[in-house]
Amino acid sequence: MKKLMLIGLLFSALTLGGCVTTGMDPAQSRLSDYQNASDSKLTSGLYSVSADGKEYGLTQSLKSEGYQFVSFDMERLVMRKPVKSNLMPLQIANFANTYQSAAENDALAVEYINIAKSRGNNVGVYRTGVLKGLIGVYGFSHLEKDNMESLGIAEVVLMEQTVDGRPVSILMRDLVSIHTVGADVWQYSTLLMGRRGMGEFENRTKKSVFDENLIKLIK
């Protein structure tokens, strides 16, 4: 239980990022962040911004699968999709106990893996224990509102890596309940990228952690 709570806190911390460029109007800031994305190929394969910065969003293929854009900040793209709606507390507990993850083969995973393979990289499927080294690398944010809570469900982590095993990007998920009269469950997906963050993550993580948490390698 303590392990799941820690996982939930980590996901919650890394779930939200905002448009960070200052001194510009929102459209200019959005466009600047997009043009200066730390991984332009990966970013543009999942998310786009118009030439004037006023129109933006996920690719049509992701939107058709129910994914919604949340935020982007050059090193982090966050999106979400609805999973369950209007659940009572007992139903949430039952859902958490019976949930079966599709994080390895859903629409987002397929697109992510295809982009990685198109540039000659592999994708490792890992247990969440590999994420400990991310703490402090990409910064911390709280969930958007007080009525949001991570369910702490451990889903597999997808990590794009070079042929010699160096991390390039990471795709991880978090199931979040949003409470009103009932509770809605959303799956938040956070894509982390960039040489700076990935390099620091690699330096903080022992090779044994990668080896012990690897489930399989997709080539």
Residue 40 has pLDDT above 50, yes or no: yes
Residues comprising the chain, all counted: 219
Domain containing 39 equals 2-218
β-pair type (47-49, 167-179) = unpaired
pTM of the model: 0.86
The one-character DSSP state at 188 is E
pLDDT at 60 over 90: yes
Q: Provide the token pair at 191.
A: 């894509």
Tell which residue, 79, 15, 74, has the closest CA to residue 39: 74
- Mean pLDDT on 153-182: 89
Q: pLDDT, tens digit, for every residue of 72-120?
A: 999 999 999 999 999 998 898 898 889 888 899 999 999 999 999 999 9
Report which listed range, 15-19, 72-76, 131-135, is most confident: 72-76
| Contact (Cβ atoms closer than 8 angstroms) between residue 123 and residue 131 | no
Query: Six-digit token pair at 44?
Result: 């543009």
In the chain the first and final C-alpha atoms are separated, in Å, by 34
Q: How far apart are CA 199 and CA 40, in angstroms?
A: 17
Q: Measure the CA–CA gap between 104 and 158, rounded to whole angstroms.
A: 7
pLDDT-derived band at 177, boundaries 50, 70, 90: confident
Q: Which residues contact 41 (CB under 8 A, 6 or more apart)?
A: 115, 119
pLDDT in tens, 179-202: 877 889 999 899 999 998 899 889
Total number of domains in the chain: 1
